[in-house]
């Protein structure tokens, strides 16, 4: 079983929809949770960063962490075609390596 | 600030050859990590260097090695290439080892024939 599980999709939604992306994990020592966005043929770009449990909002993006359930989410409101990319969750135990989910390929249809 | 840069962007090698990839971190960043990304395994951690010392290592064979120079630039070497080494190799930097967020370069796409 992988430490971090993420549904690879693909996920296709119409423009303007609310998108929900999720990851589950097994290592309760993870404290730092990140979401990266990766466009085709590009490196991952840091989107959101959260420490421990709670919510964090940045514009149309909201990250949620529920450590009791070992479950993290990324919500995208008013989705745009430019949001079409692969979204990767990542987590770490502080100054350790990042452990990534498989990535979810998202397409926003105009 | 300029981002993380990686060279070359694309490489084609044959089995048995060796390859060296280069990474220049964001100016002022002292930690460099390397990751391998494949469709089947996703992003997997190779190793991290901080101040010219390897600090963490992933579960890859000894054919994968790296080093970091005094200017924080890093190189990764893969010897005796195998077909399964075909992947996108990503470099990420952070300004200190204890910082959790990492910033990635565009990657080097390696194809082994």
Question: To the nearest whole percent, how much of chain A has pLDDT over 70?
Answer: 99
Q: How far is A24 from chain B (nearest CA, A)?
A: 16
Report, in angstroms and rounded to the nearest whole number, the Rg of chain A calculated over CA atoms: 13
What is the rounded average pLDDT of the residues B5-28? 96
SS3 B41: coil
DSSP annotation of B83: G
Q: Verify whether the Cβ–Cβ distance B101 to A46 is below 8 Å.
A: yes
Q: Verify whether the Cβ–Cβ distance A95 to B45 is below 8 Å.
A: no
Cβ-proximal residues to A42 (8 Å cutoff; 6+ apart), any chain? B106, B107
- Over 80: is that where the pLDDT of B99 sits? no
A15 touches chain B (CB under 8 A): no
The dihedral built from the CA positions of residue A36, A22, A102 and A87, taken in this order, carries a sign that is negative
Strand ranges, E, within B1-113:
5-7, 10-13, 19-24, 31-38, 42-50, 53-57, 64-68, 74-78, 87-94, 103-104, 108-112
Alpha carbon distance B39, B89 (integer Å): 12
DSSP annotation of B34: E
Looking only at the bridges linking them, the beta strands covering A104-109 and A11-14 are parallel
Which of A13-17, A43-47, A52-56 holds the top average pLDDT? Answer: A13-17
Alpha carbon distance B108, B111 (integer Å): 10
- Over 70: is that where the pLDDT of B98 sits? no
Q: Tens digits of per-residue pLDDT, B26-74?
A: 998 999 999 999 988 899 999 999 999 998 899 999 999 999 999 999 9
Q: Verify whether the Cβ–Cβ distance A42 to B106 is below 8 Å.
A: yes
Q: Out of B42, B98, B99, whose CB is closest to A100?
A: B42
Neighbours of A26 (CB within 10 A): 11
Residue to mutate among A31, A98, A101, A102, with most B CBs inside 10 A, is A98
A1 band by pLDDT with thresholds 50, 70 and 90? confident
Contacts of A42 in chain B (CB under 8 A): 106-107
């Amino acid at each position: 079983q992988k430490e971090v599980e993420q549904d690879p999709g693909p996920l296709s939604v119409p423009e303007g929809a609310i998108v929900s992306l999720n990851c589950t994990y097994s290592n309760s020592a993870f404290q730092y949770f990140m979401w990266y966005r990766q466009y085709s043929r590009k490196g991952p770009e840091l989107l959101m960063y959260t420490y421990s449990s709670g919510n964090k909002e940045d514009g149309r993006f909201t990250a949620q962490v529920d450590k009791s359930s070992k479950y993290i989410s990324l919500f995208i409101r008013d989705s745009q075609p430019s949001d079409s990319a692969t979204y990767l969750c990542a987590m770490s135990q502080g100054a350790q390596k990042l452990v990534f989910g498989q990535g979810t390929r998202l397409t926003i249809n105009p | 600030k300029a981002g993380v840069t990686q060279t070359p962007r694309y490489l084609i090698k044959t089995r048995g050859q060796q390859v060296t990839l280069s990474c220049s971190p964001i100016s002022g960043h002292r930690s460099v990590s390397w990751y391998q990304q494949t469709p089947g395994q996703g992003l997997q951690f190779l190793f991290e260097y901080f101040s010219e010392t390897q600090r963490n290592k992933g579960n890859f064979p000894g054919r994968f090695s790296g080093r970091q120079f005094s200017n924080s630039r890093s190189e990764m070497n893969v010897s005796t290439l195998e077909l399964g080494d075909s992947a996108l190799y990503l470099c990420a930097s952070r300004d200190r080892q204890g910082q959790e967020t990492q910033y990635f370069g565009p990657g080097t796409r390696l194809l082994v024939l």
